[in-house]
Structure 1
Amino acid sequence: MATIVLGTAFGDEGKGKLVDILSRDVQLCARAQGGHNVVVDGVSYDFHRCHVITDLHICVDGLEEKELGGRNIGTTKRGIGPTYSSMASRNGITISEMFNEEVFERKLRNLAAGYKKRFGDLLEYDVEEELERFKKYRPDLANYVVDAVPLIADAQKKGSKILVEGCQAMMLDIKFGTYPFVTSSNTGIGGIFTGIAVAYRDPLTGATLESFPADIDLLERVEVVYHEMEGWNKPTTSAKAYYDLPKQARAYIEFIEEFVGVKVSWIGTGPGRDDMIFRGPKALNQG
């Protein structure tokens, strides 16, 4: 059985903390790129995508952001976008190719030459230095690379519990998010969650849209339909059970449940690992 944890907004929703808790009872954890932050005993731990990205891609990421000027995407400048671009252009470097020194060198030099034509002297990058570094990386990385398909298939056959964490959240999905201000990958399960938890209205017609608008011109003029609710001033970090929360907070959670049609089982009340309320079946029945 597999449990999948996804975000429905723009990320930083606490997926990492929830996965950290759920992972105690599973045999295999799979992460779909992305990064997260978890606080344990007051210490902050950052986890970022496990992906081989060259310094060339990182340099290009920064230059592409500069090209966009005031309409830059706001990337992390870690080379993620250019790496996906190389993949889509079919001239990227796969993990298996990285271990083939001859193929890796040929493809990296080709990529560097192509970017040099585009950016000229603005591209401050030393391909020779990078090639030397990867000679040192290969022996160490070889111990941590596996073929994930048979690994997961074997876990399924054995009936192992599998936990999958999606990256970022749906509004940053390359296909269904706020394009072009999105990440470079798919952040959900297809288009199932398109437009979830948010409503939009076209001011020209007054009609409420059924999903997040794909037309950028329509997106620029739509009005967000807000549901205003009473707030609360009481801190929630001390809450250990559902009914420890202020009634306004409970009303907020119950509105979400009714709106999306899914019961909320986990409620984060603060940055710490233990700042979490679990609403099991008994608690849900009482609510």
Structure 2
Amino acid sequence: MVDAILGLQWGDEGKGKIVDFFAPQYDIIARFQGGPNAGHTLYVDGKKVVLHQIPSGAFHANTLNLIGNGVVLDPVTLRKECDTIEGFGVDPRKNLFISHRTHLILPTHRALDKASELQKGNDKIGSTLKGIGPAYMDKTGRNGLRVGDLLDKSFTTSYIKLRLKHQRLLDNFNFQEDISQWEEEFFESIEFLRSLNLVNGEYFINDHISKGKKVLAEGAQGSMLDIDFGTFPFVTSSNTTTSGVCNGLGIAPQKIREVMGVTKAYCTRVGSGPFPTELHDATGEELRKLGNEFGATTGRPRRCGWIDLVALKYACMINGVTKVIMTKADVLDKFDHLEVCTGYEIDGKDSDFVPFQMIRHKIVPRLKGFDGWNCDSSNTREYADMPLKMKEYVQFINSFVGVDVSHISNGPGRNQIVTV
């Protein structure tokens, strides 16, 4: 049995906390796509921990964690994260497993990412410069190196061959930065990576499923950043939707049961790209301040706006979402007035659909107003005790999207999740 948790917006929905909350109900937590551009924030013993590569079940002693083949893995980032979790008494050699088919991010991938983004100037997509895109390009171009290649004595030769190819591309970009230190860190981390549990991921996961084990598939980024269905070209390089669970872990579609989609009570986006409900005023700034909206990976301030129900309904449709989990509801506590987007005006015409290409059109959100609850909800533990105006807000979202909110997160703490 496999359940999935994934983002329904442009990432940063708070999936890490949600996975951590549900993790005790599962035997395995498996990351199925993305790379170190993901930043899943957890609070462990009152301390903030951001995981970029390791699944968010790492702090549960009886839970296995798998990095699936759909992920692109930076060995340097992984080693640093392992050091972090070891500081909390967690031994990654005990409960962390990595698929042989997982592609590696090389130092030259990071260099190519930076060189490409610099060349784009004003047309840059807002890459995190972690080498994600170039690593996925080598994957689809059938050039990439994978974790399983580390077990082959010819790995260094293969690395040098690919590095030379990348260097020719970097020369075309006139990229002059010295990456020798990156390479030194890389090979030190490669030795560490060899000491971990490297497995045939597809057999590992299916064997556990056949034995009745419960698997939670953990997504990174969000549905509106999906390479196929997101706001292209301002997207990530992988499938962030439910289909990515199958591709990124090697499991059959019929094995998937629940699809839990995570959305904030409002919207945010990091980097460039269309954002119909973005607020460029004091309200947007207040959302950023109250929600502490700064990227967990990059530290960049997030763009903020009202919740977009057109995009949310679209994301639920393409994912087959069975439950919606709303995060950061408490951020709206201090607002007297709220708005939600219930439609678009696209080039002067009303629409209820996410268009094929957002950046070629003038999109004006059609907004519906709500009274805010204007009181502290963060200490509430039962849905019946939630403010009436919050419940009205949630019920409208339920009816519009067609999938009910099952849980509401009203603070960063592990215990600040209310079952609806």
Question: Which of 358, 377, 383 does residue 236 from structure 1 map onto?
Answer: 377
| Cα separation, 2, equivalents of 1:103 and 1:39 | 42
Question: 1:285 maps to which residue?
Answer: none
Please give the secondary structure, in 2, of the residue aligned with 1:226: strand
Would the alpha carbon gap of residues 109 and 12 (structure 1) be closer, same or farther in structure 2, given more than 3 Å must change? Answer: closer
Would the alpha carbon gap of residues 228 and 104 (structure 1) be closer, same or farther in structure 2, given more than 3 Å must change? Answer: farther
Would the alpha carbon gap of residues 140 and 71 (structure 1) be closer, same or farther in structure 2, given more than 3 Å must change? Answer: closer
Alignment of 1:32-71 (within 5 A): 32=32, 33=34, 34-49=38-53, 51-52=73-74, 53-71=105-123
Structure 1 residues not aligned, in runs of 5+: 280-287
The one-character-per-residue Cα deviations of 1:71-102 (angstroms, maximum 9, x if unpaired) are 22112211111111222222222222244324
The answer to whether structure 1 residue 147 and structure 2 residue 185 are counterparts is no
| Cα separation, 1, equivalents of 2:39 and 2:27 | 21
Would the alpha carbon gap of residues 162 and 91 (structure 1) be closer, same or farther in structure 2, given more than 3 Å must change? Answer: same
Coordinate RMSD, CA, aligned: 2.7
Larger CA Rg, structure 1 vs 2: 1
The answer to whether structure 1 residue 83 and structure 2 residue 128 are counterparts is no
- Structure 1 residue 131, shift from structure 2 partner: 7.1
| Cα separation, 1, equivalents of 2:346 and 2:188 | 59
Would the alpha carbon gap of residues 253 and 141 (structure 1) be closer, same or farther in structure 2, given more than 3 Å must change? Answer: farther
Would the alpha carbon gap of residues 203 and 35 (structure 1) be closer, same or farther in structure 2, given more than 3 Å must change? Answer: closer
| Cα separation, 1, equivalents of 2:405 and 2:139 | 37
Alignment of 1:1-287 (within 5 A): 1-32=1-32, 33=34, 34-49=38-53, 51-52=73-74, 53-100=105-152, 101-126=155-180, 130=183, 133-134=186-187, 137-138=190-191, 140-190=193-243, 195-197=311-313, 200-204=343-347, 206-210=349-353, 212-216=354-358, 218=360, 220-279=361-420
- Assess if the C-alpha contact under 8 Å between 1:269 and 1:275 holds in 2: yes
**Partner letter of residue 154 of structure 1?**
D
The one-character-per-residue Cα deviations of 1:101-138 (angstroms, maximum 9, x if unpaired) are 244334333333332332234343339x7279527623
- Structure 1 residue 257, shift from structure 2 partner: 1.3
- Assess if the C-alpha contact under 8 Å between 2:116 and 2:173 holds in 1: no
Give the TM-score taking structure 2 as reference length.
0.60
| Cα separation, 1, equivalents of 2:198 and 2:130 | 21
Please give the secondary structure, in 2, of the residue aligned with 1:65: helix
* Structure with a larger share of its residues in helix: 1
Task: Give me the identity figure in percent.
Answer: 33
The one-character-per-residue Cα deviations of 1:116-165 (angstroms, maximum 9, x if unpaired) are 332234343339x7279527623642423211100111111111111111
| Cα separation, 1, equivalents of 2:205 and 2:170 | 40
- Assess if the C-alpha contact under 8 Å between 1:266 and 1:278 holds in 2: yes
**Partner letter of residue 11 of structure 2?**
G
**Partner letter of residue 79 of structure 1?**
G
| Cα separation, 1, equivalents of 2:186 and 2:404 | 50
**Partner letter of residue 81 of structure 1?**
G
| Cα separation, 1, equivalents of 2:124 and 2:395 | 38
| Cα separation, 1, equivalents of 2:414 and 2:189 | 37
| Cα separation, 2, equivalents of 1:62 and 1:121 | 9
Please give the secondary structure, in 2, of the residue aligned with 1:12: coil
* Structure with a larger share of its residues in strand: 2
- Structure 1 residue 190, shift from structure 2 partner: 4.2
- Structure 1 residue 204, shift from structure 2 partner: 4.2
Question: How many aligned positions are there?
Answer: 276
Question: 1:284 maps to which residue?
Answer: none
- Assess if the C-alpha contact under 8 Å between 1:98 and 1:104 holds in 2: no
**Partner letter of residue 119 of structure 1?**
F
Would the alpha carbon gap of residues 134 and 80 (structure 1) be closer, same or farther in structure 2, given more than 3 Å must change? Answer: same
